[in-house]
Amino acid sequence: MRKAIMFGIFVALALVGPAEAKVEGDTITLGAAVSLTGRYATEGGQTRHGYDLAVKRINEMGGVKVGGKSYKLDIRYYDDESSNDRAAALAERLINQDGIKFVLGPYSSPLTGAVAPITERFKIPMVEANGASRSLFTKGYRYLFAVLSTSDQYLSSAVDLAAERAKEDGRAPASVRLALAMGDDSFSLDVRAGILEAAKAHNMQIVIDDKVPDGFTDISATLARVKAVKPDVLLISGHAKGAATATRQIAEAKVDVPMLAMTHCDSAQIAEKMGAAAEYTLCASQWAPTLTYSDKWFGSAQKYDELFRKTYNYDASYQAAESSAAVLVYVDAFERGQSLDTEKVRDSLAATNLATFYGPVKFDDTGKNTGKPMVLFQVLGGDYKVVAPTKWAVAKLVHPRPPWSKRGS
C-alpha cells in the first residue's frame, strides 16, 4: 500500500511540471546524474571532476552575475550507476522533486539519450559534454546542447591521416586496407559509420569489420585475423575498457600493424599505466592541453591542465575538459541573457558563440557544436603528443609503427 501511495505522489509530481527554480539565495544549483559506479565509472568520475573544477573556478572569480546580483554555482549529483533507466529516473527526480532548472549531461551517448527525452518533455535545458552520438541530434530536440564533436568524427580523422601518409609514400589512398574492431554501443557504432564514410571517400577497402560485445573484454579473435590479413590500419572503439583491453592484448600477441588508432586512450590512461605497450598508438581526442585555445576563466588549455592536475593529481582527460566547458557555456548564457528563466536561457544557449580553453563553442539548429574539430594524439615517449591536424601538431607522426621485434621487449 505504501509503495502505491508513493508511486501516486511521484506521478502527481510528474504531471504538474517543474517545481520552482533551484535558485536559493545567492546560489544557482545545476543538476547532474553521473556514472560514479558501473561500467562508465572511470569516465563518470572524470566528468564530475570537470564539472566541479569549473564550479570552483567560477565561484572563486566572483560567481555568475545576473540582474545586478552575483550568484554562486552548485551541482546536485546522483549516481546513475551506468544505467539508462536509472539515468532517466534521476533526471525526472532532479526536475520534479529537486526543482532543478538547468541540467548537465551524464557520461556516454546511451545515458544522454535516456535523459534527453526527459529534459525535452519538461522544457529544461541540458548542456551535455559526453554524449557524442550523432543520433542525438536527429530527433528535433530544442533543449539539448552539446559542446563536443559528434562520434562519427572520432576516427574518420585517422582514415584521412592514413590517406595523407599513403600519398606521401607514393601510394594511392585506395590501396590502404582497414581493419575495424568496434563495440556494439551506440557511440562506437557511430564511430564506425564515420570510418566507413571516410573510407568510401578515399576508396579504401575494409578487410575486417568486427563487432565486439559491449564488455570489450577480449579481442583476441580479431587480433588473430589482423595478424593473418595484415591490414594497413587497425581502428578500435570501445570506451576506456576497450582501449585498455586492446592495448594489453595487442602487446601480448605482438600484433604488428603500420597504424593503430583508437578512442578513449587518455581516459584509460594507456600511456601512464601500460608503458611500452601503448607506444605509437594514435588516440582520437576532443581536446589537448597543447592546443592554443584560451578563455577568461582558465586562461590557456595548458593552464587548465595544470590546475586540474594540481587539484586531482592526474592529467586532465578530454572528458574532464569538455565537462568543464559545459559549465562555462551555462555561465555565458546566464550572463549574456541576464536571466535565469529557462526559456530565455534556452534561447541564449542557442545563440552561443564562445571561445573557451576547450575550444570554440557554437551550436547549430540541432544543438551540435560546429565550431571545434577533433585532434589525434600519438603516444610517444610515454606522453600524448598531438600529431594531427598538422595545424596543431607538436610532434611528427611516427609511421609506420616500429615492429615489436625492434622494440627491445
How many angstroms from the chain centroid is the CA of residue 390? 22
Q: Is residue 159 located within the same domain as residue 56? A: no
Q: How many C-beta atoms lie closer than 10 Å to residue 254's C-beta?
A: 12
Residues linked to residue 237 through DSSP beta bridges, in sequence order? 182
Q: Amino acid identity of 333?
A: A
Q: Is residue 190 located within the same domain as residue 229? A: yes
Per residue in 27-37, pLDDT (tens digit) is: 999 999 999 99
Q: Is residue 270 located within the same domain as residue 386? A: yes
Cell representation of residue 168 = 606521401
Pairing, β 299-300 against β 282-285: unpaired
Q: Is residue 308 located within the same domain as residue 220? A: no
Query: Of 10-14, 159-163, 304-308, 401-405, which gets the smallest average pLDDT?
Result: 10-14
Per residue in 314-331, pLDDT (tens digit) is: 999 999 999 999 999 999
Cell representation of residue 279 = 607506444
Q: Is residue 80 located within the same domain as residue 145? A: yes
Q: Report, as an integer, the average pLDDT of 212-223.
A: 90
Query: Of 20-34, 62-76, 204-218, 325-339, which gets the smallest average pLDDT?
Result: 20-34
For residue 407, name the pLDDT band (cuts at 50, 70, 90): confident
Q: Is the pLDDT of residue 409 over 80?
A: no
Residue 15: what pLDDT?
33
For residue 186, name the pLDDT band (cuts at 50, 70, 90): confident
Measure CA of the first residue to CA of the last residue in the chain; give whole Å: 66
d(CA 377, CA 385): 5
Residues linked to residue 287 through DSSP beta bridges, in sequence order? none
Q: Is residue 208 located within the same domain as residue 121? A: no
Q: Is residue 66 located within the same domain as residue 194? A: no
Q: Are 316 and 384 in contact (CB under 8 A)?
A: no
CA dihedral 334, 338, 343, 349 (to 10 degrees): -40
Residues linked to residue 295 through DSSP beta bridges, in sequence order? 299
Q: Is residue 237 located within the same domain as residue 339? A: no
Structural domain includes residue 368: no
Phi, psi of 279 (to 5 degrees): -55, 140
Rg (CA), the chain: 22
List the CATH number of the domain containing 10: 3.40.50.2300
d(CA 238, CA 54): 28
Q: Is residue 16 located within the same domain as residue 65? A: yes
d(CA 334, CA 221): 52
d(CA 100, CA 91): 9
Q: How many domains does the chain have?
A: 2
Residues linked to residue 178 through DSSP beta bridges, in sequence order? 206, 233
Query: Domain of 61?
Result: 2-149+290-362
CA dihedral 287, 293, 294, 298 (to 10 degrees): 20
Structural domain includes residue 367: no
Structural domain includes residue 369: no
Q: Judging by beta carbons within 10 Å of its beta carbon (0-12, 13-18, 19+), is residue 82 exposed, middle or buried?
A: buried
Q: Is residue 113 located within the same domain as residue 9? A: yes
d(CA 54, CA 52): 5
Work out whether the CA dihedral 75, 77, 82, 83 comes out positive or negative.
Answer: negative
Q: Is residue 143 located within the same domain as residue 43? A: yes
Per residue in 253-294, pLDDT (tens digit) is: 999 999 999 999 988 999 999 999 999 999 999 999 989 899
Q: Are 151 and 226 in contact (CB under 8 A)?
A: no
Contacts with 236 (C-beta within 8 Å, 6 or more apart), sequence order: 180, 181, 182, 219, 242, 243, 246, 260, 261, 262, 263
Q: Which helix (H) or strand (E) holds 27?
A: strand 27-34
Q: Is residue 400 located within the same domain as residue 264? A: yes
- Residue 196, helix vs strand vs coil: helix
